[in-house]
Amino acid sequence: MENNVAIQLIGVNKWYGEFHVLRDVNLNVERGERIVICGPSGSGKSTMIRCINRLEEHQQGQIIVDNVELTNDLKNIDQIRREVGMVFQHFNLFPHLTVLENCCLAPMWVRKVPRKEAERVAMEYLEKVKIPHQAKKYPGQLSGGQQQRVAIARSLCMNPRIMLFDEPTSALDPEMIKEVLDTMIELAESGMTMLCVTHEMGFAKTVADRVIFMDGGQVIEMNTPDEFFNHPQHERTQLFLSQILAH
Amino acid sequence: MANATPQAAPSKPSLWNDPQKRGILIQVLVLAAIFAFFGFIFYNTLSNYAQRGISTGFGFLNNTAGFGISQTLIPYQESDNYWQVFKVGLLNTLLVAGLGIVTATILGFIVGVARLSKNWLLSTSAAVYIETFRNIPVLLQIVFLYALLLKILPSAKESYSFAEAVFVNKRGFYVPEPIPQAGFDWTIWAFVLAVALVIVLRWIARKVQEKTGQQWPMFWIGVALIIGAPLVTYFMTGRPLEWSLPVLKGFNFQGGIRVIPELVVLWIALSVYTAAFIAEIVRSGIQSVSHGQTEAANALGLRHNQTLKLVVIPQAMRVIIPQLTSQYLNLTKNTSLATAIAYPDLVAVFAGTTLNQSGQAIEIIFMTMMFYLSVSLLISLFMNWYNNKMALVER
Ligand SMILES: Nc1ncnc2c1ncn2[C@@H]1O[C@H](COP(=O)(O)OP(=O)(O)O)[C@@H](O)[C@H]1O
Ligand SMILES: [Mg+2]
């Protein structure tokens, strides 16, 4: 049953009470593909990627991740969450645990990895994100950029096949954005399947295979970065791009 | 450097303009004023004592008390001295404080979690409970509950009886008293050993998890051992425990343990009142852990229970414990409201009856205050220690 599709969204609809937040969303993501999602605030970008690891529940349509369909079955949800890592806008590191403990928690309790092994792997990833010497510190002692890199390392420690990013740089001071983007570019080059909500257009141009534009809960446009930035098809995309590239 | 010109020495500020010296001077003056004030009161009291022919000092503690006390945890009779009264009252205070702290904590956690429930009825009931009991003065609750209880409880002759083992009437709650027989020691030892074993096993389980990643269901192992081991021993040694049942003899009950209604009322009222505060503390503690923490844990694949145990509760407890200790402190101090319903706590029997009889106001109030102060300081010490241990490390 192995095929090349990592994520499949088929006719997904979601409502918050009366509010129709996702309207008939269809999306196919292949293994190793890197997708950037952009769109105005409130257009449903976060909601869509949060449906992929079931932080939000969709009400209609199918979501298939790594050949497992997301249903109410806790087993499927557990399995998918183990394969899908997520990085949040506000890092969400556990403040009562050291950087190293943050990284070891899930491997030890979910994957049942011995501590020594978990720590070894964690140090490897902390080295990849270039903060191994902060391992014994607490998140509160790190800068925003460092915290976000720890959050990326923490996700990677679970050895996921897919990574979701929800505006990973928008809570950061400008001088820290680059260090996080560099980490993400490295990750992209290693062949990870990535879905990334971001307004960093430079990042989109460098690494994305496809760029998606969402508005009003719909996927309005989906294209290669070249086409997307140089020949946007829809009026709304053009408007959005002119606003975002204006400054 | 050789030809560095010597700097002109800064002119010395006067005593009053040097902030450091001025600070010390003010402190000395304030301290002197305080000493003078208390010295005056002390001198005044001594001369009053002398006028009324009362001797000073703690010698009165050897005098015979001559009054009875309705509940004594240690042997006591009217011919005992005031020192014994002090100990009886102190233990009675600690008893109701201890009982209250345990039940208020359990009730408070249940109500606090219920307050956060998604079930509308449950969370609303919890909210009503909290707002009601928090906002009525506890003295009123105690007096009301006491009056209510005395109204509905029957006389001894018409006692409510439960399975002919528990009897309830105006004079108190009579429950069977366990009387250990020869060989019951084994059961106690089994319990102690089980607790020790669980502690060791927990340690081993952690080592095993660190080495192999295997997890043992330590909670259930612990419960099984701590309950199972004493129980099995108890039955194997031929159930060496007898029960003395309360029996109505004439107008009164004999045998069993009598729990006076004042204790029950004070216990319930203080628990219910303090639990309302604890519930709020628990609610705010849990809510202080942002939703993002739960989401991050879920996204990493941690199950609901693991998220609670590893992420939410450790963070919530940092907020809850310090406030909890101050509630314990409040409850302990509130036990002095016992006087209102004549529960024989320290304030009632010592700072009340004993003071009236002996007139040694200064000594008695001093001893009573020292007791409450010691308890408060112990609780504060614990709080500081805990805070230092658990404080989140920030920049
Ligand atoms: N838990 C929620 N309850 C109700 N409405 C929500 C909730 N979360 C998001 N929304 C609404 O759904 C819309 C899409 O939100 P979101 O997916 O966060 O947008 P984006 O990430 O594109 O800014 C917004 O209008 C937002 O107000
Ligand atoms: Mg968003």
- How close are the terminal C-alpha atoms of chain A, in Å? 47
Amino acid at B84: Q
- Poorest-pLDDT segment among A154-163, B39-48, B230-239, B295-304: B39-48
**pLDDT value at residue B280:** 96
Could you say which DSSP state residue B340 is in? G
* Cα torsion B71, B77, B79, B85: sign: negative
pLDDT above 80 for B9: no
Please enumerate in sequence order all residues whose Cβ is within 8 A of that of A206, keeping only pairs 6 or more positions apart, or say none.
A185
Got the DSSP string for A102-138? HHHHHHHHTS---HHHHHHHHHHHHHHTT-GGGTTS-
| pLDDT > 90: percent of chain B | 61
Q: Is residue B268 part of a domain?
A: yes
Structure tokens at B325: 């200790």
Q: What is the pLDDT along chain A (247 residues), one digit of tens a residue?
A: 457 899 999 999 999 999 999 999 999 999 999 999 999 999 999 999 999 999 999 999 999 999 999 998 999 999 999 999 999 999 999 999 999 999 999 999 999 999 999 999 999 999 999 999 999 999 999 999 999 999 999 999 999 999 999 999 999 999 999 999 999 999 999 999 999 999 999 999 999 999 999 999 999 999 999 999 999 999 999 999 998 877 6
Q: What digits encode the pLDDT tens for the residues B143-171? A: 999 999 999 999 888 888 888 889 998 88
**pLDDT value at residue B214:** 86
- Quick check: B285 and B295 in contact, CB under 8 A? no
Structure tokens at B379: 């609780």
**pLDDT value at residue B379:** 83
Q: Is residue B291 part of a domain?
A: yes
Region B231-246: what's the mean pLDDT?
Answer: 90
Q: Which ligand is nearest to the CA of A214?
A: 1
Q: Is residue B289 part of a domain?
A: yes
Instruction: Report which of residues B182 and A123 the model is more confident about.
Output: A123
In angstroms, the Cα distances linking B295 to A66, A75, A171, B276, B290 are 21, 18, 18, 30, 9
Tracing tokens 């005593």 back to the chain, one arrives at B15
Q: What digits encode the pLDDT tens for the residues B38-89? A: 889 888 888 887 887 777 788 889 999 999 999 999 999 999 999 999 999 9
pLDDT above 80 for B4: no
Got the DSSP string for B109-154? HHHHHHHT-S-HHHHHHHHHHHHHHHHS-HHHHHHHHHHHHHHHSP
Q: Which domain holds residue B275?
A: 58-150+260-357+368-395
**pLDDT value at residue A46:** 96
Nearest to A138 among B306, B310, B393 (CB): B393
**pLDDT value at residue B8:** 55
Ligand 1 center from residue A44 Cα (angstroms): 6
Report d(CA B183, CA B242) in Å as an integer. 12
Number of domains comprising chain B: 1
Report d(CA A3, CA B387) in Å as an integer. 54
Nearest to B300 among A95, A116, A158 (CB): A158
**pLDDT value at residue B2:** 47
Report d(CA B111, CA B118) in Å as an integer. 13
Report d(CA B239, CA B244) in Å as an integer. 15
- CA A181: distance to chain centroid? 13
B10 pLDDT band, cuts 50/70/90, is: low
Q: Is residue B158 part of a domain?
A: no
B296 pLDDT band, cuts 50/70/90, is: very high
The phi and psi torsions of B90 (rounded to 5 degrees) equal: -60, -45
Q: Which ligand is nearest to the CA of A15?
A: 1
**pLDDT value at residue B345:** 94
Tracing tokens 């020495």 back to the chain, one arrives at B9
pLDDT above 60 for B3: no
Asked if residue A42 has its Cβ within 6 Å of ligand 1, the reply is yes
Q: Is residue B118 part of a domain?
A: yes
**pLDDT value at residue B15:** 73
- Three-state DSSP class for B260? coil
- Cross-strand pairs, A5: A30
Task: Give chain A positions within 8 Å (CB) of B317.
Answer: none
* Cα torsion B391, B392, B393, B395: sign: negative
Report d(CA A141, CA A11) in Å as an integer. 44
Q: Is residue B307 part of a domain?
A: yes
Q: Is residue B243 part of a domain?
A: no
Structure tokens at A79: 């399995």
A74, A81, A109, best to mutate vs chain B, most B CBs in 10 Å: A109
Mean pLDDT of chain B: 90
**pLDDT value at residue B1:** 43
Alpha helices (H) along chain B: 19-52, 82-115, 120-135, 138-152, 185-212, 218-236, 261-287, 291-299, 304-307, 313-334, 346-348, 355-358, 361-390
**pLDDT value at residue B292:** 95
The phi and psi torsions of A81 (rounded to 5 degrees) equal: -65, -30
Q: Which helix (H) or strand (E) holds A145?
A: helix A144-156
Tracing tokens 């081993």 back to the chain, one arrives at B204
**pLDDT value at residue A76:** 93
Do A141 and B393 make contact, defined as CB atoms within 8 angstroms?
Answer: yes
For residue A74, the distance in angstroms to the closest alpha carbon of chain B comes to 10
Q: Is residue B119 part of a domain?
A: yes
**pLDDT value at residue B322:** 86
Report d(CA A242, CA A238) in Å as an integer. 6
**Domain of residue B324, CATH code:** 1.10.3720.10
Please enumerate in sequence order all residues whose Cβ is within 8 A of that of B247, keeping only pairs 6 or more positions apart, or say none.
B253, B254, B255, B256
Ligand 2 center from residue A38 Cα (angstroms): 10
